[in-house]
Amino acid sequence: MPSWSVYLLRCGDGSLYTGIATDVSRRVVEHREGEIGAKYLRGRGPLDLIFQQEIGDRSLAAKIEHRVKRFPKEYKEDLGRLPGRIEELLQQISLQSD
Identify the pLDDT of residue 35. Answer: 79
Q: Give the span between the Cα atoms of 85 and 68, in whole angstroms.
A: 9
- Structural domain boundaries, residue 57: 4-97
Burial class (CB in 10 A: 0-12, 13-18, 19+), 58: middle
Among 56-60, 88-92, 93-97, name the one with the lowest average pLDDT: 93-97
Identify the pLDDT of residue 57. Answer: 95
Q: What is the CATH number of the domain that holds 28?
A: 3.40.1440
Q: Give the span between the Cα atoms of 72 and 60, in whole angstroms.
A: 21
Q: How confident is the model at residue 98 (pLDDT cuts 50, 70, 90)?
A: low
DSSP string of the chain, one letter each residue: -PPEEEEEEE-TTS-EEEEEESSHHHHHHHHHHSSSS-GGGTT----EEEEEEEEESHHHHHHHHHHHHTS-HHHHH-TTTHHHHHHHHHHHHHHHH-
Q: Is residue 97's pLDDT more than 80?
A: no
Identify the pLDDT of residue 87. Answer: 96
The CA angle 42-44-47, to the nearest 5 degrees, is 100
Express each pLDDT in 33-84 by its tens digit: 987 878 999 999 999 999 999 999 999 999 999 999 999 999 999 999 999 9
What are the backbone dihedrals phi and psi of residue 74, each rounded to the nearest 5 degrees, phi first?
A: -60, -35
pTM for this prediction: 0.93
Identify the pLDDT of residue 19. Answer: 98
Identify the pLDDT of residue 66. Answer: 97
How many domains in the chain?
1
